[in-house]
């Protein structure tokens, strides 16, 4: 499992551990409407460094 976070212009949402990026994105869109990200960059923790995950489309 990998640890994911979503960085938006105004905050960073720690999404937790998931088997893949798809599961992390699905979790992000199930957040409460006031916490649901409108746009942002999905990142995965590799070792001690965060790396961007390429995504396509709109996650909202």
Taking phi first (over 0 means left), then psi (-120 to 50 degrees means alpha), and beta for anything else, what does residue 10 get?
Answer: alpha
pTM of the model: 0.69
Domain presence at residue 22: yes
Supply the range of the domain harboring residue 11: 2-52
Average pLDDT of the segment spanning 45-51? 88
Domain presence at residue 58: no
Domain presence at residue 38: yes
Q: In 10 A of CB 24, how many CB atoms?
A: 23
Helix, strand, coil percentages, rounded to 5, for the chain: 15, 40, 45
Overall domain count for the chain: 1
Average per-residue pLDDT in the chain?
80
Domain presence at residue 12: yes
Question: Shortest CA distance to 37 belongs to which of 57, 9, 18, 16?
Answer: 9
Q: What is the pLDDT of residue 35?
A: 57
Using the predicted structure, report yes or no on whether residue 28 has a pLDDT greater than 90: no
Report CA torsion sign: 3, 34, 12, 26: positive
């Amino acid at each position: 499992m990998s640890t994911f976070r979503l960085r938006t212009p105004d905050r960073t949402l720690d999404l937790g551990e998931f088997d893949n990026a798809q599961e992390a994105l699905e979790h992000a869109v199930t957040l409460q409407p006031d916490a649901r990200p409108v746009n942002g960059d999905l990142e995965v923790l590799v070792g001690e460094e965060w790396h961007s995950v390429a995504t396509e489309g709109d996650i909202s």
